[in-house]
Amino acid sequence: MSEHKYSKCTVEGDKKIKWICGCFQTVDGYFKFCDTHDETLKKAIQSQIDELDMTRIVEN
Ligand SMILES: [Zn+2]
């Protein structure tokens, strides 16, 4: 598995909301989740997106 570091994780000033566990949202609308919540929140977001019936782009 390739690892993608969040490019702005060292830029403290760009964080808009930060939670005590380590999750945060940046001023430009990106979310970064802590290790504890990463998997759970990704699954939750993906299931919400499926409920919204958004069309998936399949790239092969
Ligand atoms: Zn968290």
User: What does the angle CA 15 – CA 50 – CA 19 come to, to the nearest 5 degrees?
Assistant: 20
Ligand 1 midpoint to CA 13 (Å): 19
- pLDDT < 50 stretches in the chain: none
Q: Scanning the structure block, which residue is given the tokens 């001023």? A: 27
Q: What is the pLDDT of residue 12?
A: 54
Ligand 1 midpoint to CA 25 (Å): 11
Q: Are 3 and 12 in contact (CB under 8 A)?
A: no
Ligand 1 midpoint to CA 3 (Å): 19
Ligand 1 midpoint to CA 20 (Å): 7
Burial status of residue 41 (CB atoms within 10 A of its CB: 0-12, 13-18, 19 or more): middle
Ligand 1 midpoint to CA 59 (Å): 31
Q: What is the pLDDT of residue 11?
A: 52
> How far is C-alpha 13 from the geometric centre of its chain's CA atoms?
18
Looking at the whole model, is its pTM more than 0.85? no
DSSP letter assigned to residue 46: H
